[in-house]
Amino acid sequence: MTVISRIESVSTLTGFQDTTPTPVQTESGQNRRYGDFATFPEALDYAAQGAAGYNIYSGRGVLLEALPYALLREQAIEMARRLLALGLQPGDRVGLIAESDGDFARIFYGCQYAGLVATPMPLPVAFGGRETYVATIRGMIETADASAIVIPDLIASWTDDIIAGFDLKFGGSPAQLMELPAPARPLPTVRPDDLSYLQFSSGSTRFPKGVCVTQRSGLANAHSIAHDGLQVRETGDRCVSWLPLYHDMGLVGFFITPMTCQLTVDLLPTREFARRPHVWLDLISRNRGTLSYSPSFGYDLCSRRSGAAGLDLSSWRVAGIGGDMIRPHILENFAERFASLGFDARAFVASYGMAEATLAISFAPLNVGMRTDTIDLRRLEMEGVAYPSNDPSHPLRTFVLCGRVLPGHEIEVRDADGTVQPERHIGTIFVRGPSLMSGYFRLPTESAEALDANGWLNTGDLGYMLDGQIVVTGRAKDLIIINGRNIWPQDLEWSAEHEVEGLRNHDVAVFSIEEDGGEKVVALVHCRATTPEGRQALSEKIAAVFRRLHGVEAEIILLPPHSLPQTSSGKLTRAKARSMLLSGAFTRIDETASAA
C-alpha cells in the first residue's frame, strides 16, 4: 500500500480528508496514570482524553501516519463492531500478522473493545522462505483455533495458502476488513480476568505455544514497567521503537505500556531495521526520544553500520537491553562509538523477562549503567558456583546483572531438588506474581509443567543471585554436559565471536549431538572467507579458541552468511539450528574442520 492510499483509507474511516499527517506531540496534557486500569479499553478511554498517540514511520524515517489515541479509540470501537458483525463471539481468537502500522493498532484495540482475543503473528522476517513461513503461520492458526486472520498487503499473495482448509469468518487484508459494514451495536462488557491476547513464545526450544495474557495480568506488567522499571516521568518522556509487535518486548514494552501511561511512541518497521539501523538513532535524536530498547544485536548493528553525522543522543535516558543474552562488549562498543554524540553509558538498563510473565520480570537500577560480574568459568562449570575472578590465567566470563524483581513479584533460584540456592550458586530461575500468564492456550499438560500449584513459573532459565539482583547465565535446555562439566553454549559462542577476527554477534551456534553413545559438540559458523585457505584458517582458529579457553573439542561446520535461524526477536535459535543440521537442511561450505 502506498503512503497516500494508507492515509486515504484512514481518512475514509474517520471522515477527515487531510492527507498530510501532523506528528502526534510528546505531551499528553493529562495527569499521568501508570496502567492503573481494570482493562485495556478503560486505559485507551483515558488516553483518548489527551494528545499523545502513535507516529508510524517508514524504514527511511518518513512519517506515514499520525494516530492520536483519541482517533485510535474511535477507530478501534468501529473496528470492534465490524469484527462482531462478522459473527465473531467474545473469546474468539483473531490472528493478526503484525506489521508495525496503524492497521495493527486499530485491529488489536478493536479486539479489546469487542472482547476478542488478539493473536499477533510474525511477518516473514525470521524464517527461511515462503513454504516454511506459511507452515508456521498455519500452525499458529491451528494452535490458537483462530476464527479470523488478518494478513497485511506485504504478503497478500500468500493469503490463499495461509487460509486454505480453515473454517474462518474472515481471512484477508486490513483494507478488505475495513470495507465491511460496522453496524452500531452495544459492545460486550470486558472484565479483568478475560483473555486479552495470545502471545506466541519464541519457539527457540519447540513449536511456539500460545501464552494466555489476561486483561489483569497485562495491565499489572504494564504498570510495573512504567512505574517501577522505566520510572516514566510526569512530562518529557517519549518512546521510539523498531521492535516487532508480534514479540513481547515490542508489543508490551513499546506498544501497550506507553498507551496505558499516555506516552507518545514513534514506531519504525521491524523488517527494515537491519538495512537502516541509523534511522532508529535519527528518530531518537530529532524527536528527543527518552525511552528505547533493543537486544544486543541492535546496538551492535548501529556501532558497525550507522552514520553519525548530526545526531544528538543526549535525550536518551533509558537505553534498555533485553530479549537475549546481554553481551557487555557490544554495549561498551556502542557507548564508545556514540559518546561524542551525547550518548551517556549510564543510560543502559539491563532487564530480564519473558512472554510467560507478560514481559518484564526485573529491571536494573536507572542512571548507573551496566553492572557486570566477572567469574571463573571453569569453577562455574565444575562446581555450579559463580566465583568472582580477574585472574587472566583462568578462563573468565562476564555476566550482566539484570536487576531486582519487580514490586509485587518474587524470584528464586533453585537447585534440581527445589531448594532455594544461596547467593552466587547456579540454579533454575522461578518467578511468581500478578504478571504471569494464566497458562498456555489449551495445553493443560504444558501449563502444569510450567506453573505449579502455588503459582511459581519455572522459567527454564539458569542464573544466580548477586546483591539482590538476578544474573541470567543461559537456558537450562541448552546446557552441554561433557565429562561432568556443565558448559553453556553461549560461552563458546561469545569466545569465538570475541576472539576470532571477522566474526560478528550471532555468527556462531553451538550445541551438542549424540554420536557413538556420547555427546559431540558442534559449532555452526557463518563464513565470509572467499578462499579455501581462509576458510580452513577460520575453522582452525575457532577450534583453537574452544580448546584453549574451554577445554572443549568441537566440530566446526562453515555455512554461508545468514544461514542460522533466528526467532522473531532476533535471538539465535539453537534448537532449530540443530534440527536443521540433523535433517540436512543447511548448505555447507566445503571446508569443515574437526577440532577433535
pLDDT, average across residues 241-257: 95
Residue with the bigger pLDDT between 484 and 330: it is 330
519: buried, middle or exposed (CB in 10 Å: 19+, 13-18, 0-12)? Answer: middle
List the one residue out of 151, 40, 59, 144 whose CA is nearest residue 99. 151
Residue range(s) in the chain whose domain bears CATH number 2.30.38.10: 372-477
Spatial strand order in the sheet of 427-432: 410-414, 427-432, 457-466, 469-475
Grid cell at residue 1: 500500500
According to DSSP, residue 401 is labeled: B
**Residue percentage of the chain with pLDDT more than 70:** 91
Q: Domain 480-594 maps to which CATH number in 3.40.50.410, 2.40.50.100, 3.10.310.30, 3.30.300.30?
A: 3.30.300.30
What's the pLDDT score for residue 590?
63
3-class SS string, 18-53: CCCCCCCCCCCCCCCCCCCCCCHHHHHHHHCCCCCE
Reported confidence tier of residue 516, pLDDT bands at 50, 70, 90: low
Reported confidence tier of residue 354, pLDDT bands at 50, 70, 90: very high
The full DSSP string for 429-456 is EEEESTTS-S-BTT-HHHHHHHB-TTS-
Task: Give the dihedral sign, CA 163/155/300/559.
Answer: positive
**Residue percentage of the chain with pLDDT more than 90:** 71
Reported confidence tier of residue 570, pLDDT bands at 50, 70, 90: low
CA distance 397 to 493: 12
List the one residue out of 121, 115, 106, 119 whose CA is nearest residue 88. 115
pLDDT, average across residues 399-407: 97
> What torsion, rounded to 10 degrees, do the Cα atoms 174, 175, 176, 178 define?
90
Residue range(s) in the chain whose domain bears CATH number 3.30.300.30: 480-594
* Orientation of helix 69-85 relative to helix 102-114, angle to 10°: 60
363: buried, middle or exposed (CB in 10 Å: 19+, 13-18, 0-12)? Answer: buried
What's the pLDDT score for residue 240?
98
CA distance 395 to 378: 6
Of the spans 18-32, 348-362, 502-516, which averages the highest pLDDT? 348-362
Domain 372-477 annotated CATH 3.40.50.720: no
List the one residue out of 330, 277, 304 whose CA is nearest residue 494. 330
Reported confidence tier of residue 594, pLDDT bands at 50, 70, 90: very low
pLDDT, average across residues 464-477: 91
Strand 360-363 and strand 348-353: the pairing is antiparallel
Prediction pTM value: 0.83
State the average pLDDT for the chain. 90
Grid cell at residue 243: 521492535
- Please say whether the beta carbons of 195 and 213 come within 8 A: yes
Grid cell at residue 508: 556462531
Reported confidence tier of residue 580, pLDDT bands at 50, 70, 90: confident
The full DSSP string for 276-342 is -THHHHHHHHHHT--EEEE-HHHHHHHHHH---TT---TT--EEEE-SS---HHHHHHHHHHHGGGT
Grid cell at residue 33: 496514570
**Alpha helix stretches (DSSP H) within 86-129:** 102-114
Q: How many helices (H) and strands (E) does the chain have?
A: 18, 27
CA distance 273 to 241: 10
CA distance 420 to 143: 35
